[in-house]
Chain A
C-alpha cells in the first residue's frame, strides 16, 4: 500500500463551491503533480464544515491546519510552503474577529470550541461520496446492532428512553411517534424523511445531506425495521441539487453493499429508499402536505386526525421525521439511550444544530447541547455582531417562530423555554439582528413570506395573512392608523385558533413576538411616523453630513430639486420636497449623505 503522508481536505459544500472551491482543487491537483507530491499527498473532497462564511475551506492533516478563503492564486504558496517545507502559511489562517489573533488549528477556533458536534461529527471530515469513509467512522454499526441483536420493540423503546424529540419544528417525542406507527395495523408501512427544508435562514438539513448522507439513510433503515416498513421516501427540495446527487450516490452504494435492499445483514429485513424531489412549495414541509405531494397532488395539508401514523402515504401507516432527527438515531442505538439522555436538559435531550445567520461575524452551523444560553451561541460561537454594532434581537424558528430581545439572551435554549417566551425551536434557524434592523419590517418580511406560501385551502391563513400584511405595509409606509396594533393582535389570535395546519397557526407568531418585545417601534411608526432603525424608506429622512465637499453631484442627480447648496460648500436637503429615492446617496463620492 502506498504511504500517504498528508491529507488535504477541501470543502465541496454548496457555500465553498460558490466561493471557488472547485478551482482551488484543480489548481492543487496540478501543483502537486508538478512538484511530484501527488503520490504522497491525497486530496479529499468533503461535505460542509458549517463555516461557509470563511470558505473555501482547506484543512491539512495530520496537523489539522485550518485555512480559510483560499483562492487558486494561493495554491502554489500553500504547496511550496506548507506541503513541501512544512511551514504554515500565516496569512491564510483564520483571524478571530475580537482578538484578531490567527488560529492555526481547527479545534482551537472559537467557532468550534463550544460546539458538541455529534450529528455533524462527520461533516467536513469524510468524503460523503465514499461509503467506506462512513463505515470507517463507525457507520452502519448501529443498523447491524439493531437488526441482529434487538427486536423492533426494543429499538422503539430505546428511542423513547433517549428522550429524542423531532428536530423539524414541533418537538414531538420521536420514540412515541415510532410507537404509534409500529402499533398501527397495515399490510404496508412507509418511512418518510422530510428534507423539504423551507425555512428561510435554515440550512442544517442541507449540510447533513451533503456532508454525511449515509447517517440519514442508516437512521431511516433503523426506523423501517422498528416500525415494520420495507420502503422509504426522502422528500428533498429541488433547490438542493447537490444534496440530491449525494443521496443518490449514497443509496446506490448502500444497495451495492447490501446495506439497503433484500435480507439486510441476513436478518430477513428488506428496506428500499426512493428520492422524491420537491417542486417548490413551502407548505410541503407540513407532513400531510408532503405526503400529498409525494402522491403527485397539490401539496395541501389535510386535517389531522387521522395522523400519518395511522393513515399516511397512500392511506398506509407512515412515520415521518426530519433529516436531523434521523441523523440522531445511529448514535442512540450505538451508544445507548442513557448516554444520549445525559446530554441536554430535563425535557430536551441531546444536541441541536442551529444555523447562525444575519448580522453576525461567524455565519454557519453550530451544534450545541440543549440548554446552552443564546448568549453563548451568538457571542462565543458566533463571534458577536458585525462591525461591533449593538445586538437588537434574534429571530428563532423562521416564519413560525419569534424573536428574542437582549434581556432574554441568558435563557437556556430548549423546546419548552422558547415556547414560554413566545418563540419556538422550529428547525433551528437563528437570524441575528442589530440596531439597523426594523422589527416591523422584519414581521412584514415573514408575513409576506407566509402569505405568498399559503396554500389557500383554509380561509384564516389565505385571507387573514393577506389582511395582516396590508396593515403592516401601511404601517411601514407611514399610513398606520390608531387601532392598527389592536387589529393585528385580534387577527393573530383568530388565525392561531382557526387555521388548518401548523404553518397557518404559527404564521402570526413573528407579528405577536415583535409586538411583545418591540411594541414601541410599532407605535413610533404609527404615531410619530418614524422608523427608529432607519430601515423603512418611506419614514426615513436623508441628510448631508460634514463629509460633504460641495461637488454638486447630488444636486444634479436629485429628480425633484430638493437639494440646495453652492459649489465647494456643504449642501442641504429639503426634507419636505425629498421623495427618498436614494439617487443622491448612490451618486455621492464622499459617502456624505446618510439616512436616518
Chain B
C-alpha cells in the first residue's frame, strides 16, 4: 500500500478522536508485547489504522513507525484504508471449496459490484475472503460482522445482503 493512501484520514489532528486511543495506550503501559493488542483495540475504535494513529502509537510505545507498519501489514486483520460498515468474510477453506465457495464469492461480487478485497463506494460493505472460519459443517459459509451464515447457495446471497443494507 502506498503512503498517500494512509493520508486520507478523517481524524488527523482531532484530539477528541485520539482520546480513545490514549485510553488504550494507558491500559497497555509497561505490558510486554503490547503492540498487537493495541493495534487491535485501536482498529476497533477507528475502524482502520490511519497514518496518524500509527504515528501516535509509535510515539507512545516508543516503537519505530516503520516497525509498526511492518507488523500492521503482516497480519491480515489490520487495515490501513477505511472499511465498510458491514464486513463480509467469505470462507474459501477446503470444505467450502469442495462445496462451491467459488460460486458464492462470484455471487457476492456480482451483487455488490466490487471484487474481493474492496469496499463499496457507499461504504456499506467490505468484501473479504478468509482461509477458514471453522464452521465447516455448514459449508459453504460466510460471516457478516459477527453473524455466521451457512449452507449457502448463490441464490440466497441477495436476501442475506438485504438484511444489512
Instruction: From known contacts A18-B135, A280-B75, A357-B136, infer whether A294 and B150 are also in contact, taking CB-CB under 8 Å.
Output: no
A282 interfacial by beta-carbon distance below 8 Å: yes
Report B63-106 residues with CB < 8 Å from chain A CB.
70-71, 74-78, 92-95, 97-99
Chain B residue nearest to A243 in the complex (CB): B134
A363 touching B78, Cβ below 8 Å: no
B95 surroundings in chain A (CB, below 8 A): 200-201, 357-358, 363, 431
B75 surroundings in chain A (CB, below 8 A): 278-281, 299
A429 surroundings in chain B (CB, below 8 A): 94
A445 touching B94, Cβ below 8 Å: yes
Q: How far is the CA of A364 from the CA of B149 in the complex (A)?
A: 17
B35 interfacial by beta-carbon distance below 8 Å: yes
A355 surroundings in chain B (CB, below 8 A): 136
A51 surroundings in chain B (CB, below 8 A): 137
Determine how close the nearest CB of chain B comes to the CB of A434; give it in whole angstroms: 9
Instruction: From known contacts A18-B147, A296-B34, A395-B94, infer whether A357 and B139 are also in contact, taking CB-CB under 8 Å.
Output: yes
Chain A residue nearest to B148 in the complex (CB): A18
B134 surroundings in chain A (CB, below 8 A): 14, 197, 202-203, 206, 239-240
A201 touching B94, Cβ below 8 Å: yes
Contact of B131 among A200, A238, A358 (CB under 8 A): A200
Q: How far is the CA of A363 from the CA of B39 in the complex (A)?
A: 36
B33 touching A14, Cβ below 8 Å: no
Q: How far is the CA of A398 from the CA of B148 in the complex (A)?
A: 23
B138 touching A19, Cβ below 8 Å: yes
Instruction: From known contacts A201-B93, A281-B74, infer whether A364 and B99 are also in contact, taking CB-CB under 8 Å.
Output: no
Contact of B138 among A15, A206, A239, A449 (CB under 8 A): A15
A14 touching B94, Cβ below 8 Å: no
Determine how close the nearest CB of chain A comes to the CB of B95; give it in whole angstroms: 3
B150 surroundings in chain A (CB, below 8 A): 15, 18-19
Chain B residue nearest to A48 in the complex (CB): B137
Contact of B40 among A14, A277, A364 (CB under 8 A): A277
B77 touching A200, Cβ below 8 Å: no
Instruction: From known contacts A280-B76, A293-B36, A395-B94, infer whether A357 and B131 are also in contact, taking CB-CB under 8 Å.
Output: no
Determine how close the nearest CB of chain B comes to the CB of A363; give it in whole angstroms: 4
A314 interfacial by beta-carbon distance below 8 Å: yes
B112 interfacial by beta-carbon distance below 8 Å: no
Q: How far is the CA of A199 from the CA of B132 in the complex (A)?
A: 7
A449 touching B136, Cβ below 8 Å: no
Contact of A277 among B37, B92, B139 (CB under 8 A): B37
Instruction: From known contacts A18-B135, A18-B138, A52-B138, infer whether A279 and B97 are also in contact, taking CB-CB under 8 Å.
Output: no
Please, what's the 1-or-0 string for B19-44, where 1 marks a CB less than 8 Å from any CB in chain A? 00000000000001111110110000
A358 touching B71, Cβ below 8 Å: no
A314 surroundings in chain B (CB, below 8 A): 32-33
Determine how close the nearest CB of chain A comes to the CB of B111; give it in whole angstroms: 14
B34 surroundings in chain A (CB, below 8 A): 296
Please, what's the 1-or-0 string for B117-148, where 1 marks a CB less than 8 Å from any CB in chain A? 00000000000001111111111010000111
Number of interface residues of A (CB under 8 A): 56
A152 interfacial by beta-carbon distance below 8 Å: no
Q: Which of B95, B148, B149, B150 has the most chain A CB within a 10 Å cutoff?
A: B95
A446 surroundings in chain B (CB, below 8 A): 94
A53 interfacial by beta-carbon distance below 8 Å: yes
Q: How far is the CA of A497 from the CA of B42 in the complex (A)?
A: 41
Q: How far is the CA of A293 from the CA of B94 in the complex (A)?
A: 25
Chain B residue nearest to A240 in the complex (CB): B134
A15 surroundings in chain B (CB, below 8 A): 135, 137-138, 148, 150
B139 touching A296, Cβ below 8 Å: no
Q: How far is the CA of A253 from the CA of B33 in the complex (A)?
A: 25
Please, what's the 1-or-0 string for A203-240, where 1 marks a CB less than 8 Å from any CB in chain B? 10010000000000000000000000000000000111
Determine how close the nearest CB of chain B comes to the CB of A90; give it in whole angstroms: 24
Determine how close the nearest CB of chain B comes to the CB of A279; give it in whole angstroms: 4
B147 surroundings in chain A (CB, below 8 A): 18
B99 surroundings in chain A (CB, below 8 A): 358-359
Determine how close the nearest CB of chain B comes to the CB of A3; give it in whole angstroms: 36
A449 surroundings in chain B (CB, below 8 A): 131
Please, what's the 1-or-0 string for A407-434, where 1 marks a CB less than 8 Å from any CB in chain B? 0000000000000000000000101010
B76 touching A241, Cβ below 8 Å: no
Q: Which of B33, B94, B134, B138 has the most chain A CB within a 10 Å cutoff?
A: B134
Instruction: From known contacts A201-B95, A359-B98, A429-B94, infer whether A53 and B137 are also in contact, taking CB-CB under 8 Å.
Output: yes
B35 surroundings in chain A (CB, below 8 A): 296-297
Chain A residue nearest to B67 in the complex (CB): A297
Q: How far is the CA of A52 from the CA of B136 in the complex (A)?
A: 8
B36 surroundings in chain A (CB, below 8 A): 276-277, 279, 293, 296
Chain B residue nearest to A365 in the complex (CB): B137
A239 touching B137, Cβ below 8 Å: no
A279 touching B137, Cβ below 8 Å: no
B94 surroundings in chain A (CB, below 8 A): 200-201, 357-358, 395, 398, 429, 431, 445-446
Contact of B71 among A277, A296, A431, A455 (CB under 8 A): A296
Chain A residue nearest to B97 in the complex (CB): A445
Q: How far is the CA of A206 from the CA of B149 in the complex (A)?
A: 17
Please, what's the 1-or-0 string for A264-281, where 1 marks a CB less than 8 Å from any CB in chain B? 000000000000111111
Please, what's the 1-or-0 string for A440-462, where 1 marks a CB less than 8 Å from any CB in chain B? 00100110010011010000000
Q: How far is the CA of A17 from the CA of B138 in the complex (A)?
A: 11
A-B contacts, 14 of them at CB < 8 A, read: A14-B134, A15-B148, A18-B141, A51-B137, A199-B132, A201-B93, A278-B75, A279-B40, A279-B77, A280-B77, A281-B74, A281-B76, A358-B98, A358-B99
* Other 17 A-B pairs with CB < 8 A, given A200-B97, A295-B32, A357-B139: A14-B134, A15-B137, A18-B147, A18-B149, A51-B137, A52-B136, A200-B132, A201-B94, A201-B132, A201-B136, A277-B40, A279-B39, A279-B78, A282-B131, A293-B36, A296-B71, A300-B74
